[in-house]
Structures are given as C-alpha cells and as structure tokens.
Amino acid sequence: MAGVSLGSRPTVKDVAAAAGVSATTVSRVLAGNYPVSASTRKRVLRAVQDLDYVINAQARALVGGTTRTVAFIIRDLVGPLFAYIGQGVEQQATAEGRVCLVCTHHGDADRELELIELMREQQAEAVVLVGGGLRTPEHLERMAQIARSLERVGSRLVLCGRPPIGPDVPATVVEYDNEGGAFAVTNYLLSLGHRRIAFIGAAEPEHTTTSARFDGFTRAHAAHGLTVDPSLVAGGTFDRESGYRQTKALLTRDTGMTAVVGITDIVASGVLAALHEAGLRVPEDISVAGYDDIPMSADLNPPLTTVHIPHEELGRSAVRLALHRDDYAQDQHLMLGTHVVIRKSTAPPRER
C-alpha cells in the first residue's frame, strides 16, 4: 500500500503534495464543481487513493456552514412504536444525504431539553423530537425559547407526534390525529353496544399523548350522550406491566365493565394477560382495544383491535418538511390521519 503514513490523517495538503498540485485544486477535484483538466484530475484521484484520503467533515462544516446532519431525540431505541418512527427519520435523512445523530432521554423531559442543547452545539440542521412530551407551562416556555434559539442559528426544531408549542414559535410539526383515533375506536366500541368501557393509562394528564387520547375517549362518550365513569378510568404508565396491574385492580371491584381501551398496544397486551389469568375470554366476555398498531398487535391472542398510526411516514415527513422549509413556503404543520384496525379482540357485549 503506497504512500500511507501512519498515525495521522492525510489532509488536502498531503494529497496536493503527492499530486504535485495546490490544495485548491484538490478541493475542486473532490467537489467536482469547477473545471479541472483531465490529467490533473487523474493525478489527484490517484493521490487520494494512495493516501487513503477522506475529507474531514468537521473542517468542511466549519467553512461551509452546514453539517448535513439531522438529530433525532427519542425516548428509547427499543419499543416498536418509536423505533418505527425513528426508522422513518433515519431513512429520509439518508435519502436527503444527511447523517443522523441519535439520543435517548428515557422519558425524562429535562434530559430532553439538555439533549436539544447538545444538538445545537453539534450544529444539527434539524432537531427532531420523536413522540409526545410534557405540556406544563414552564416546559412549553423553555421549549419555545429553544425553538427560537435553534431558529436563530439556522437550525430547526421538529415536533414529530406532538402538537405545536404555540402560534409564534418557529417549529415544524408533524403530528397524527391522536384524539381522532381515540374517538374512533371508542365510538366503535360504543356502536357495538358497550356502555361500561374502561380506560387504562390515563396518568400524566399534562403529557400530550395521554391527554389527547383520553380526550377522544371522552368525546366519543359525549357523542353518544354518555359521560365517562371516573371509576372506570385507571392511571399507570406506558408499559405492559402497568396494563396488567391496572386491569387486575379493576377486576377486584365490581365495575360491570364490558370493554377496555388500553392507552397503547403494549398496555393492552398487559390487559389481555390479566384477563386471561382471570379466566375471562376475549372478546366473548370482554372486549379489548389498543392504540398504535405496532406489529406485535396482529400476533397477540386474540389479534388486537387498535388504532393505526402512520409510524414511518411520520418520521419521513418530519425530516422532509424540516429540510425543505425554504422551498416554496411549505406549510410547516402536518396532521396525518389515523384509523381503526378491527381485529379479533372486540365484539358486541354479552347479553346480561
């Protein structure tokens, strides 16, 4: 292997020297945006090969002003829902010639803010926040400030699966119809004849996802002239264990419930487990619905009725909009549709 020197990265200068040209010429050959004679180009490319040269992205970013980098900040890398959105982000970023930075906050809202700051240091062209977030006034205010900070340096805050922060806050928003999906699935259960429907996972009312889904649940009841019975509303977190525990608790009381809506499919899988354990059949004895339509839902026993979210499309659109916001004044707020996927876990209530 000719010409490779150990211990230090070759630079344009080294290539220039090896090719007997100036650094400028090397740069031009590599960029291909300037006329260079064929013979010179050949010599330069040869030197690049010999020295095993690659460009220094940091140096290029420093002078060029852009890093061609997109950051995405996500609760976790695991978990079927977020991973699919993340996959959409990564694919679109790659398709647009960008590199992806990824960070996880494990549900810690303050950590999320820290990470945005970190991504601002990294000069990310866009900072995509995946999934729902807090909606307390303080948090929204800090978020608004951060959005403006990013704006000032030519970057862009992107909310993916979360409602806008405020009317005058510069941010790209790609959300899905969280409330509408919850309305639709609840409405479906009500149409089947259910009147005692439990809702599991209603804690954290200041969390955007939680509140939107619960609102849809409530509105569907209202549309049928009903009000939600608070004793049928259980709290908990977004995991399977929570769905299991909350269902167990509900079963100890005589609630008369004939259907359960889990705030996510994962929660619903815990609901199913608890019901099976109690010897109840789904959907004969009790109906169960989830939310998210993660791949696993089709494999549950029985296959779960749920609300479909366009996971990947969410991520892709987020990046696409953010990177092309200067083009023909695109609308920077997109609301993607959701729809109910009817499987085997729901049926009319038993005659009592």
Partner DNA sequence: TTGTACGCGTTATCAA
Partner DNA sequence: TTGATAACGCGTACAA
Residues of this chain, 272-301, that bind a copy of itself according to CB under 8 A = 296, 299-301
Q: Which does 34 bind (CB under 5 to 8 A by kind): DNA, a copy of itself, none?
A: DNA
* 180, 107 contact by CB (below 8 A): no
Put residue 338 in one of left, alpha, beta given phi > 0 → left and psi -120 to 50 → alpha: beta
| Range in contact with DNA (rule: CB under 7 A) among 36-44, 187-195, 232-240, 316-324 | 36-44
Determine which residue in the list 4, 5, 24, 335 makes contact with DNA, applying CB under 7 A: 24
Alpha carbon dihedral 13, 14, 16, 17, in 10-degree steps, equals 120
Residues of this chain, 50-109, that bind a copy of itself according to CB under 8 A = 52, 54-59, 61-62, 67, 76-80, 83-84, 86-87, 90-91, 94, 99-104
- Nearest C-alpha neighbor of 119 from the set 82, 69, 52, 84: 69
The string over 81-109, giving b where at least 16 C-beta atoms fall within 10 Å of a residue's C-beta and e elsewhere, is bbbbbbebbbebbeebebebbbbbbeeeb
Say how many residues touch DNA, by CB under 7 A. 30
Task: In whole angstroms, give the CA distance from residue 293 to residue 49.
Answer: 49
Q: Which does 249 bind (CB under 5 to 8 A by kind): DNA, a copy of itself, none?
A: none
**Is residue 154 involved in binding a copy of itself (CB under 8 A)?**
yes
**Is residue 2 involved in binding DNA (CB under 7 A)?**
no
**Is residue 4 involved in binding a copy of itself (CB under 8 A)?**
yes
CA angle 157, 295, 86 (to 5 degrees): 20
> Which residues of this protein are in contact with a copy of itself, per CB under 8 A?
4-9, 52, 54-59, 61-62, 67, 76-80, 83-84, 86-87, 90-91, 94, 99-104, 117-118, 120-123, 149, 152-154, 269, 296, 299-301
